[in-house]
Structure 1
Amino acid sequence: MALPAAALAMQAIKDKPKARITSKVTTVLLTAGLGLGAFFGVRALIGKFKRNNRERLALQEGNPASFATQLKMAFENDNAFGWGTDEEMVYRILEQVPSASLMRKVLRAYKDLYKNNLSADLKSELSTQEYAIALEIINSKT
């Protein structure tokens, strides 16, 4: 009795209608994939262009990219006598930014160069007290 049931099950599996993807669905899927690929490709190229431009401008004194680069270097301070963030250098660099509008440009340049938020990096690199001092310096800009 089990044999006919197994044979019937096998026959039902063989007779089951197959799902087919039409050429229109295939075309839509390929077009969507190419569109997404083009979008992310162009986005990456624009990001690379912005980063390269910021890096070039970082060599100019007083440029927002220069301040952003100096801050990153202060975070990655690896000298012979210690390691970690050079807090005094961070304060000095923040004090050298003359205005609030230039500070906003520094924040944007930092994000373009390092794909990180400067505020978040300050918070992670500094203690709570040091972070409060840095925020005080930033907020004192007019």
Structure 2
Amino acid sequence: MALPAATLAVEAIKNRPKISVSKDVTTVLLASGLGIGVFFAVRALVRKFKRNNRERHALQPGNPANFAIRLKMAFENDNAFGWGTDEEVVFDTIEQIPNASMMRKVERAYKDLYGNNLSADLMSELSTEEFAIAQEIINSKT
């Protein structure tokens, strides 16, 4: 009895409707896939160029990338036990930023270097009270 069921299944597979995709649809799908791939490749190259440019100028005192790197190093504080943010360095670095315009440049440099938003990292690394103090310092800049 299993034999007729298997035969019916084979016949059903042979007689199923064929799906065909026209050349135009195939061309559009390939072109859109290629376009998306090129977009992401160019975006990655631009981000790498920005990051390399920021890193090249980071050793100059007063450069926004210098401040951004100092903040990131304070977040990744490698003290004797290997944990914790060095809040004093964070506050000192933010206080050394001369004005609001430079603060915006530091935020942009931080984003270019690390791909993260500086405010979000400050919020995650500092306690609520410490974050409020940092925001107060940032907002006091004119």
> TM-score scaled by structure 2?
0.90
The aligned residue for residue 33 of structure 2 is 33
C-alpha distance in 2 between matches for 1:46 and 1:126: 31
Number of aligned positions between the proteins: 142
> TM-score scaled by structure 1?
0.90
Q: Bigger CA drift: 51-60 or 4-13?
A: 4-13
Q: Bigger CA drift: 12-21 or 98-107?
A: 12-21
Measured against aligned partners, the alpha-carbon deviations of 1:63-122 in whole angstroms (never above 9, x if no partner) come to 111000000011111122663111011000000001001100100100110001111111
The aligned residue for residue 61 of structure 1 is 61
C-alpha distance in 1 between matches for 2:5 and 2:136: 81
Measured against aligned partners, the alpha-carbon deviations of 1:24-79 in whole angstroms (never above 9, x if no partner) come to 21111111111111000000000000000011111110011100000001111112
1:103-142 residue pairs with structure 2 within 5 A? Answer: 103-142=103-142
The amino acid across from 2:57 in the alignment is L
Task: Using the TM superposition, give the Cα deviation of residue 129 of structure 1 relative to its aligned residue in structure 2, in angstroms.
Answer: 0.7
C-alpha distance in 2 between matches for 1:49 and 1:2: 66
Please state whether the residue corresponding to 1:79 is helix, strand or coil. Answer: coil
The aligned residue for residue 42 of structure 2 is 42
Structure 2: 5+ residue stretches without partners: none
The aligned residue for residue 78 of structure 2 is 78
The aligned residue for residue 100 of structure 2 is 100
Share of identical aligned residues, percent?
A: 74
RMSD of aligned residue pairs (Cα, Å)? 1.9
C-alpha distance in 2 between matches for 1:49 and 1:79: 32
Structure 1: 5+ residue stretches without partners: none
Task: Using the TM superposition, give the Cα deviation of residue 8 of structure 1 relative to its aligned residue in structure 2, in angstroms.
Answer: 5.6
